[in-house]
Amino acid sequence: MEVRDLHPWPGTTEEATAIQDRLRPLLDLDSPGPAAPRTVAGLDVSYAGDGGDAEARLAAAAVVLDAATLEVVEESVAVGTAAFPYVPGLFAFRELPALVEALRALKTAPDVLVCDGYGVAHPRRFGLACHLGVLTDLPSFGIAKTPFVGTYERPGEERGSTSPLRDGGEVVGRVLRTRTGVKPVFVSAGHRISLDAACRLTLALTPEYRLPETTRRADRLSRDALAAAPRGT
């Protein structure tokens, strides 16, 4: 599938921040998103050890699922090293080169990208889901296990219960209960999809577990690939 080259990979925090500021106006946060996506891709990255090293080994996985059956349509993985130091708010730059490599290897262009991370629920309103959405021009959103920015009230205990995630008076995401009585997830739009549509799709992708099948399958693939890759790959 096609991923656009819109910028060089940064070498400093100043360069990375400037890229986020330059690409943010390209976001489409008004489109509702596909009414009935046929395929959905999950993206996730696994690290060797604690992943804190400047050049930690990693594996990035892209898994395309049939949106109706949640069966795997295609998968791709790229093994490499972190491309950027760990800097809060710039974490996407550690993973983007490997994720782009994995996406480019796909023959299937999915209807929606689901990232393990954040969209506009980000200090500069440009998290990983926004960045990948702009690079691919595909509808994209993020599902995170914990919040990065903002405050919220606890949603109801029933599956499907929600509460807004607010930052500086702005709603940047939604706290969504995917399983009754289980900790919620944090959903934020990235590009070309509404928050309502992202939450509906999140519920469709979580028939059994707290995390969506997109994330679960991509996480498993990336972990297996990292374990199987010769050290130094």
3-state SS class at 126: coil
Tokens of 87: 């800097």
Neighbouring C-beta atoms of residue 154, cutoff 10 Å = 10
The answer to whether the beta carbons of residues 52 and 84 sit under 8 Å apart is no
Dihedral angle sign, alpha carbons of residues 49, 230, 222, 7:
positive
The answer to whether the beta carbons of residues 211 and 185 sit under 8 Å apart is yes
The answer to whether the beta carbons of residues 162 and 177 sit under 8 Å apart is yes
The DSSP letter of residue 169 is: T
Any known ligand binding at 116?
yes
CA distances from 42 to 72, 82, 85, 139, 173 (A): 10, 20, 24, 12, 19
Tokens of 178: 């995917």
Collect all residues with Cβ–Cβ distance below 8 Å to 171 and sequence separation of at least 6.
164, 165, 195
Task: Say if residue 133 is exposed, middle or buried (CB neighbours under 10 Å; 0-12, 13-18, 19+).
Answer: buried
Collect all residues with Cβ–Cβ distance below 8 Å to 88 and sequence separation of at least 6.
123
Binding site, by residue number, is 44, 116
Binding site for Mg(2+), by residue number, is 44, 116
